Chain A
């Protein structure tokens, strides 16, 4: 594997004696779309939280682009170009859609702090144009000026995606980007993610929906019981008996 940009090495994490993650090894190369799948309670969200610095692993390290992410603050990780899109929409409910997307753009341009108190926020033309463009990309162009709290749940998720994409991340971590979406919204999101893939953005997707996973992923890691039980291209994973067992086991119950 050439040019690994994101590397999770030997990560362990336990809560009150319970092993949530053990021996996690994961390498993602530049431009790759890597999916993490697994039955409920397999540790997917814990893994993502470790990647984003919300949880500190007991041992092991997470390295992105030569920088160790473990122990860094959330804003430092973001400033390195690692952006996370949350499963439950995390937006700014009191701001308009446009402002919701402009704010992350400013984080990208001005860094983690800038005392920019004299200029006009609305006068930031290039930031504004870019934000509108991104909102058009996710299909929210008709509601640019309305308050984010008025959005439907599905639209909130799209807004959050726009907030992430607007930062042009080097690595995008997506937590079940289509969960709770209607079918045609899901398809629209898949199309959008495919277009992003064409730009060469590296992505890690945690997803339940196999349709989404197999339409997007270059490689897949299967997580079960806090361990990676299989890793490979979609075709390799599909045929792996262990994976079938892990999933069938769940489905029959």
Chain B
């Protein structure tokens, strides 16, 4: 027992170290700039939260982007009305998203399986459509919600006139690398909470619900509040991620709520390994990394890359690869989606485990470890 507590602490320490030293070890990968690292942390949080619902209970929500969007709007409103300090913004982002998640979860969780997926999708689409139409006074429609000069910001002392202030943490500006460290600390806290949930009786109940929900009620559990809490907690994570997006760049648009965005978080989670602790973060990081790399490629870069080859071959290769990069990044994403689901349903963590069990002589050790993190099938 002590050894497992030790393992957890070790995992947390390793994770925190890896996150905080990202600016160093990401350098060789060309990814050590703040904007991208912020996205790693933010979408990592989003996926970690989504995993608490999907990975533990098996309920596949197709509407989590709505909570991300709601979190962003709430945070930007906090910047507009109250203060440029990020803590209230994050607080409101989480609370408002949690409230929305409660409303939507309360209704959607009356059904399970595919019906649940469709219900969450329907609600998310409603939020998205409303954000573009009736709710324009709150969301500013297609332009997106932005800071303006005449925002009240009642808690802030009057700043220098004529410029829109940036987000701060008690005076420390949340731009660039400090912005990243703020997101990183929030991510580590989020990871810690997710770890506690995974190892707690509550988390075990969620796993049991996934395994055999019917049996849970005959065992004396009211499964509904468990599911609602799992939904609300994962919605709060999404809201947290949304508010951090606003912290690093104080504007919010409805396109964040589109259902393709919900699909993306599903992909991040299964790519890394649904139901595992670290997997969703890895999935989010990889997708954001490759999105950044791939979508920055254009034909010219490709021509340079293949310049050593004979002209005919060069042109053919450029033509082929240009399908997958730049604007075609989504094609790569779709392929990745299919490959993972077909060949590696447990995601990267499953792959790591398979490779690991090739090397360990007794498969029993791998098995006992897998019991702490049963992967989704």
Contact = CB atoms under 8 A, between A and B. Distances in A.
A72 B204 CA distance: 25
Interface string B207-219: 1101110111111
A106 B201 contact: yes
A95 B206 CA distance: 11
Nearest to B233: A117
A111 to B, nearest CB: 8
Given A92-B215, A95-B208, A113-B225, A121 B203 contact: yes
Contacts of A121: 199-201, 203-204
Contacts of A107: 219-221
A122 interface: yes
A217 B374 CA distance: 42
A103 B204 contact: yes
A167 interface: yes
A117 B217 CA distance: 20
Contacts, number: 113
Given A92-B212, A113-B225, A78 B218 contact: yes
Contacts of A15: none
A167 B229 CA distance: 25
Query: Which of A102, A107, A113 has most chain B Cβ within 10 Å?
Result: A113
A66 interface: no
Nearest to B204: A121
A75 B222 contact: yes
A100 B207 CA distance: 11
B4 interface: yes
A interface, over-half SS: loop
Contact of B229 (A84, A108, A115): A115
Nearest to A94: B211
Contacts of B374: 94-95
A108 B212 CA distance: 18
B158 interface: no
Interface residues of A, number: 43
Interface residues of B, number: 34
B205 interface: yes
B202 interface: yes
A79 B5 CA distance: 32
B126 to A, nearest CB: 29
B222 A92 contact: no
Contact of B218 (A84, A119, A122, A145): A84
A73 B211 contact: no
Contact of B212 (A91, A99, A146): A91
B196 A117 contact: yes
Interface string A160-200: 00010001000000000000000000000000000000000
Given A75-B222, A104-B220, A107-B221, A117 B215 contact: no
A90 interface: yes
Given A91-B215, A122-B1, A75 B220 contact: yes
Contacts of B218: 52, 74-75, 78, 84, 86, 90
Contacts of B300: none
A117 B371 contact: no
B297 interface: no
Contacts of A115: 202, 225, 229
Given A78-B220, A121-B203, 4 more contacts: A95-B374, A103-B204, A119-B201, A122-B4
Interface of B: 1, 4-5, 196-197, 199-205, 207-208, 210-212, 214-223, 225-226, 229, 367-368, 371, 374
20 contacts: A74-B218, A78-B217, A78-B220, A86-B218, A92-B207, A92-B212, A95-B374, A96-B371, A99-B208, A103-B204, A104-B220, A110-B201, A115-B202, A115-B229, A116-B201, A117-B200, A117-B202, A118-B200, A125-B1, A146-B367
Closest 9 pairs (CB-CB, A-B): A78-B220, A107-B220, A92-B211, A112-B222, A117-B202, A94-B211, A74-B217, A116-B201, A113-B225
